[in-house]
Structure 1
Amino acid sequence: MKIMRLRKRSVTALLAAMVSASLVTAAPAATATEEFLFEEITLSQLQAGYAKGEYTAEEVVKAYLERIEKYEASYNAFTTMNPNALEEAREIDRLRASGEPLGKLAGVPIVIKEAVDMAGFPSTMGWEPLAKELGGIELIPERDAPVVARLKAAGAIILGRTNIPAFSSSGTRATTSWDGDTYNAVDAKFVPGASSSGTATAVSGNMAVLGIAEETGGSIQNPAAAQALVGIKPTFGLVPNAGVVPLAGSTRDVIGPHARTVRDAAVMLDVIAGYSHEDPKTIASIGNIPKYGYTSKLNKLALKGKRIGLYGPGWRNQELTEETQELYDKAVEELEKQGAVVIPDPFADTGFAEYVKANGSVGIESVIYDMEDYLERLGPDAAIHSVEELLEKTGEMPSVFNRYEGNLPDPDGVADLSKFVEVRTKYLEYINETMDKFDLDALVYPQMFKETPLLSSEDNIGATTVSEINVAGVPLVTVPSGYYDSGSPFAIVFVGKLWSEASLLGMAFDYEQATQSREAPTLVVKP
């Protein structure tokens, strides 16, 4: 079926057409879409409803499309809608009715970050010169990224693709996107977090159940924290990043879930994690994934007896604001109530903070090589096949290339990553040795040292672990943990050693179940 693209002003028109068309085929008894009945629904609740015959996948998808139609113009979460979503939902219904085996995400409405390839849908990279709507060059991938293929195989219904800043190169806002700003679903006055801005807004705003996000330096955790979501930034190499617009594909880029609950995020990770022949880096994941999946490790008693390292100047000499400290202290009290043993500032006197400050953020050195690899993967019919063609046909130099122009004469040549390897090795030494010394099971920090900035300001999100955990390649789970007086969400992060996702998710689940901090946002239609 022909894939359609849309300018923002035509999004609601396409949505209206899709919803209208569904009325022709909807069962007469269908009631699920008369009002939005799926606010904050979990995967297990959704699948239970399917099993009981309370609604069909078509009815569920139609309900989400109606909600998107109502709020998209106000929040700008989407860049492209999937016009086949209802047809795909009907196919899930047919398979269910015939007793066919179904995947873990059968009939689950999800969204995909714009940077992740979907066959037949444009890859704009968030950049105006590649937005056909604005007179740019259209790039159409001929095949799905491995994570998208896995989600489709699991039965997920992709509603659309979500907004990003140009080249995913902001951790705060989507202002540089060809499609304009995305707005925070919790409160549009706050920045949405970036670069997975649209995914976070769609999931937090109940315009999807789950979403795919991606992180080089904060792009999963920042939007999750800013919009009261669970986010999983996995170990580098756990999830294939082939078919994803790169900033640091060889060194730092990771794909992970945005969800409203820890369990839902764990289910999505179960679907997308593991070796792919398209991404040799994922060989390292073999033997590092729980036999029965990440959901098998979720336990309401997971924190009992766990030893938790707390934030302090030994990690980073960045003081928390007064209100952030109060919220963090409350979170620490909850950890202790669940039986955790906390160790203040275990990195004190290790030299870690000083080493980080001296060596900064590394790993982007491979961006031109990684971009060359990405463009080659688009396929022979793509409008652009190389970095050289990208520069020639657009007539512009992407800002992300500026520091590495010396690599342009030979984009196939692998960049010198010796400094990155040196720094990653040292970061891991600090983390592993400190956690071993204090017998720590995890580090738990506030995700930001201050509240989420206002969109009207020029302030940026103040994350506590970017880019330390990105350079190190270690996993992190973001969990909602309350709200500031201003209404800005507060979140904590669970950080561990390489491949410790299962343990982190267990502890995050225990904390989430004990605190239940997330509140459903109230979306508003802008006049």
Structure 2
Amino acid sequence: MLTVEEWKNRLECESCYDLISELFERIERSNLNAYITLCKEEALKRAEDYDRGKLKGKIAGIPVAVKDCISTKGIRTTCGSRMLENYIPPFDAYVVEKLKQEGAIIVGKTNMDEFAMGTTTETSYFGVVKNPYDESRVAGGSSGGSGACLGGNEAVLALGSDTGGSIRCPASFCGVVGLKPTYGLVSRYGLIPYANSLEQIGPMACCVRDVAILLEVIAGKDSRDSTNAGKSFKFEDKYGDYNFKIGIVEEMGGNEDVNCRFEEVVELIKSMGFRVGKVSMPSFKYALAAYYIIATGEASSNLARYDGVRYGFALDNLDSWTRYFSKVRSLGFGEEVKRRIMLGTYALSAGYYGKYYLKALKVRTLVRRDFERAFSEFDLLISPTMPALPFKIGELADPLTMYKMDVNTVPVNMGGIPALSLPVGFVRGLPVGLQIMGNHFEEEKILSFALKLENYITETI
């Protein structure tokens, strides 16, 4: 897999134009289906600018992939849906503005579950994304394209979004590093919404240092996002000699394959001299159910705007507004999106709001309190990122089974805390991820610990 350092070393010997051309040739030969839209002409033009010395910045000349729910001016942005199949945004998202300011070369928009609703990228209108380690298996979701393009050497850096694990799941399944930042650290301006109170744009890369570099670029103050914390980020690795106290979350686990590798990694962490203990989070028993009530409720509200009149998928004949509205949404949305809209609408309906949605919000408060208690005792918390290895394509036919795969990741979004998925080895040739969780705005701690563990695992393999 390609790192920023390796790419920069190649730029010293070869032209950026040739390297980007070679990258597009690889993408066009690929069977992964990681991209929905390629930006070949614009990318090659920026590569020429880099070769002429016109492109400057922290990630100048570096090819970056952007998830297709993040607005890119003049570049098709579909959210993996027929509803927005031909939508071309008139503006850039904040994170895209920052990428361009720092000299990045955007190579394309990556495939994803429709409106970020899924765990396997099988709900995309543009077809399933295949796992770079086994093309008969899924790449994870919803940022499956971003994970697969990194694992398949089709980009050096990538942006994803994470509502309930959508960065960490594909990072785990594709053997790359993915960070869901603290809620509010990265501006959501230009992110097409699924569930506003839960989702966050975050960096993905092939190593911890590259994730830190990309986070430095995209974090910052933006008045256009009312939930933005107004904080920047600079990775200084100031915890270089820090003796971390690590908590194992008892309510988070996996199947036999995953647990076996997780226990091996725990022993590695102990052998590095770190203190390790266990912590119980009682509220996690209810977190998954509460998450799906909150997320689908917000989705029901957010997706009401897609009516076939203002923008998006439309029909030629308008005989009756009610029939037209119903038919547009029936044809424009996929099955999973319609399922979640119906669930959310029901949970928010009169007579059920208090019974479901209000109760779910109370659970979110309990989850946050459990995290506060845990971080008063431990510096970081760990668990398997995903409870299972990457599934076969088509294996998770039952929606409820798919929802259960988010059991380890959704509490992080409920609590608004940062979490990173780090590849920690393989089981039967398939990658396994370790989830590292920290307190609010403690990305520095997470990245420092992850960097130590990454280096130690590399040395011991």
Paired residues of 1:224 and 1:478 also in contact (CA < 8 A): yes
Aligned to 2:383: 445
Q: Counterparts of 1:129 and 1:214 in 2: how far apart (Å)?
A: 19
Paired residues of 2:16 and 2:51 also in contact (CA < 8 A): yes
Paired residues of 1:193 and 1:222 also in contact (CA < 8 A): yes
Alpha carbons of structure 1 residues 203 and 224: separation in structure 2 relative to 1, 3 Å: same
2:416 to 439, 448, 473: 473
Paired residues of 1:480 and 1:517 also in contact (CA < 8 A): no
Paired amino acid for 1:454: K
TM-superposed deviation, 1:369:
4.2
Q: Counterparts of 2:364 and 2:284 in 1: how far apart (Å)?
A: 14
Paired residues of 1:446 and 1:464 also in contact (CA < 8 A): no
Aligned to 2:352: none
Could you state the TM-score of these two structures normalised by the residue count of structure 2?
0.86
Aligned to 2:257: 323
Paired amino acid for 2:427: Y
Gaps of 5+ in 1: 1-39, 132-137, 410-415, 520-527
TM-superposed deviation, 1:331:
0.5
Could you state the TM-score of these two structures normalised by the residue count of structure 1?
0.76
Alpha carbons of structure 1 residues 68 and 311: separation in structure 2 relative to 1, 3 Å: same
Alpha carbons of structure 1 residues 298 and 450: separation in structure 2 relative to 1, 3 Å: farther
Aligned to 2:275: 341
Counterpart secondary structure, 2:150: helix
Gaps of 5+ in 2: 315-321, 350-355
Please, which moves more after superposition, 330-339 or 216-225? 330-339
Structure 1 residue 108 and structure 2 residue 48: aligned?
no
Within 5 Å, give how 1:46-445 maps onto structure 2: 46-50=7-11, 53-71=12-30, 74-82=31-39, 83-95=41-53, 102-131=56-85, 138-171=86-119, 173-249=120-196, 251-282=197-228, 284-286=229-231, 289-290=232-233, 293-294=234-235, 296-297=236-237, 301=240, 304-312=242-250, 315-316=251-252, 320-344=254-278, 346-347=279-280, 351-356=282-287, 359=290, 361-364=292-295, 365-371=297-303, 391=325, 394-396=328-330, 398-399=337-338, 400-405=340-345, 419=359, 421-436=361-376, 439-445=377-383
Paired amino acid for 2:416: G
Q: Counterparts of 1:518 and 1:169 in 2: how far apart (Å)?
A: 38
Paired residues of 1:305 and 1:339 also in contact (CA < 8 A): yes
Alpha carbons of structure 1 residues 42 and 358: separation in structure 2 relative to 1, 3 Å: closer
What is the root-mean-square deviation in Å for CA atoms of aligned residues? 3.0
Alpha carbons of structure 1 residues 352 and 381: separation in structure 2 relative to 1, 3 Å: closer
TM-superposed deviation, 1:476:
0.4
Counterpart secondary structure, 1:143: coil
Q: Counterparts of 1:266 and 1:160 in 2: how far apart (Å)?
A: 21
Aligned to 1:457: 395
Aligned to 1:482: 425
Q: Counterparts of 2:71 and 2:432 in 1: how far apart (Å)?
A: 32
Aligned to 1:13: none
Paired residues of 1:88 and 1:157 also in contact (CA < 8 A): yes
Alpha carbons of structure 1 residues 395 and 423: separation in structure 2 relative to 1, 3 Å: closer
Paired residues of 1:447 and 1:465 also in contact (CA < 8 A): yes
Please, which moves more after superposition, 265-274 or 460-469? 460-469
Paired residues of 1:361 and 1:467 also in contact (CA < 8 A): no
Q: Counterparts of 1:47 and 1:231 in 2: how far apart (Å)?
A: 21
Alpha carbons of structure 1 residues 422 and 395: separation in structure 2 relative to 1, 3 Å: closer
Q: Counterparts of 1:298 and 1:126 in 2: how far apart (Å)?
A: 40
Deviations for 1:105-156, whole angstroms, at most 9, x for unmatched residues?
100011111111111122322122432xxxxxx3221001111111111111
Q: Counterparts of 1:255 and 1:367 in 2: how far apart (Å)?
A: 17
Counterpart secondary structure, 1:126: coil
Alpha carbons of structure 1 residues 493 and 408: separation in structure 2 relative to 1, 3 Å: closer
Alpha carbons of structure 1 residues 160 and 280: separation in structure 2 relative to 1, 3 Å: same
TM-superposed deviation, 1:472:
1.1
